[in-house]
Amino acid sequence: MQEKAKQSLMTRFKILTKNVPDSQNEEELRNVLRSITFPEEIEVCDQVKEFAGKTELYIGNGKDMAADRLALQKILKGFTVLADSDEEEETSSRNVKYKIAALKSLVVYVPSTLLYGGTEILEMPGTNDSDPLAMNFIQDALDDVEVLLLLSEYGFRLTGREVRDCLKNSSFIKQWIKDPHNYKLMFRSYPEKNLIYQFGAKDGEKIEKIMQEEDKKKEEEFQKFKDLLQPVHLPSEIKQKIFFSTLLPVLHSSILSLEGDPRDILEKNNAFLKNTGIELLIKEIDQITLQRKKDIISEVIFL
């Protein structure tokens, strides 16, 4: 992890500063980094100076949630994904590269009951070794969060080494082991990219069968997680403090998007909605929020 942190720092340094030697030699660059003692010695490049210290605001009109969501998706993509590097996109790609490297945070405000009481959801980029800029952000985030929801396509036992390294070396795991009541760890798999997990109106029995196999899957997931943390000893009761389950968000959102009376849709598809895992996830997040805010709630009731 230390080597990955150094790689991330060097990548960001080469993009944002004038201190980089013309030769781009790695050893020379390391020497430059070692020679810097004070922040004032770092020369930020002119492209970054144009937007450094600024905040950009984008506000939806709140009349069409679908349109706002698509517009937001496009805006976020513009701050996080490099354009194709053909001639027409070359200048734009360079500018986006500077912004991505220098970006401090992206904050999205939405009207959601999940966020009542000051709850914040921090979405981290995928743990991809090809993007060293992301690795540093992920590691920093894992040192500050109180609840971790790890999403993977097929489950924790099949996640990549980068995920395991980040998790094992994070301050979050240390805090969670010490205080599993106030720090929550959740593993969720969302296998809907695979055709056999793409369901329709006639697949109720298939979904129920998947959910019936959850207990077996949970045992396998926990054992893999326990092996990862060796030689750290996990108390037996901590097993109940980890949540493993399958999510089917595409199916869930597809049902909620159906045309017609919402009450009729919910009643007709109640069995499907219960088995997508989304309601259970929301319930867990609500309980976590309530647990974290119980002192404030008690104070309000007392007053």
Identify the three-state secondary structure at position 56.
Answer: coil
Q: For residue range 38-52, what is the model confidence (pLDDT) as tens digits?
A: 888 888 888 888 888
Q: How many CA atoms lie within 13 A of 280 on its CB side?
A: 17
Q: Residue 271: inside a domain, yes or no?
A: yes
Q: Residue 176: inside a domain, yes or no?
A: yes
**What is the residue range of 215's domain?**
121-303
Q: Residue 96: inside a domain, yes or no?
A: no
**CA-closest candidate to residue 286, choices 122, 145, 116:** 116
Distances (CA, A) of 190 to 150, 163, 276, 280: 11, 16, 10, 14
Reading the block at residue 225, the tokens are: 């997680």
Q: Residue 289: inside a domain, yes or no?
A: yes
Q: Are 168 and 229 in contact (CB under 8 A)?
A: yes
**CA-closest candidate to residue 142, choices 128, 156, 163, 160:** 163
Q: Residue 205: inside a domain, yes or no?
A: yes
- pLDDT score of 87: 46
In this prediction the pTM is 0.68
Reading the block at residue 185, the tokens are: 């760890």
Q: Residue 57: inside a domain, yes or no?
A: no
- pLDDT score of 286: 78
Q: In sequence order, which ranges of 45-118 are alpha helices (DSSP H)? A: 46-49, 65-80, 90-102
Residue 44: DSSP 8-state: B
- The total of structural domains in the chain comes to 1
Q: Are 194 and 231 in contact (CB under 8 A)?
A: no
> At residue 7, does pLDDT exceed 50?
yes
Determine whether 13 is exposed, middle or buried from the number of CB atoms within 10 Å of its CB (0-12, 13-18, 19+).
Answer: middle
Higher-confidence position of 128 and 233: 233
> At residue 264, does pLDDT exceed 80?
yes
Whole-angstrom Cα distance, residue 130 to residue 132?
6
Higher-confidence position of 7 and 74: 74
Q: Residue 301: inside a domain, yes or no?
A: yes
Q: For residue range 138-178, what is the model confidence (pLDDT) as tens digits?
A: 777 888 888 888 888 777 766 667 777 778 878 888 888 88
- Choose the most confident range, by mean pLDDT, from 73-87, 139-153, 197-211: 139-153
Reading the block at residue 131, the tokens are: 């993007």
Whole-angstrom Cα distance, residue 67 to residue 72?
9
What is the chain's alpha carbon radius of gyration, rounded to the nearest angstrom?
A: 23
Q: Residue 24: inside a domain, yes or no?
A: no
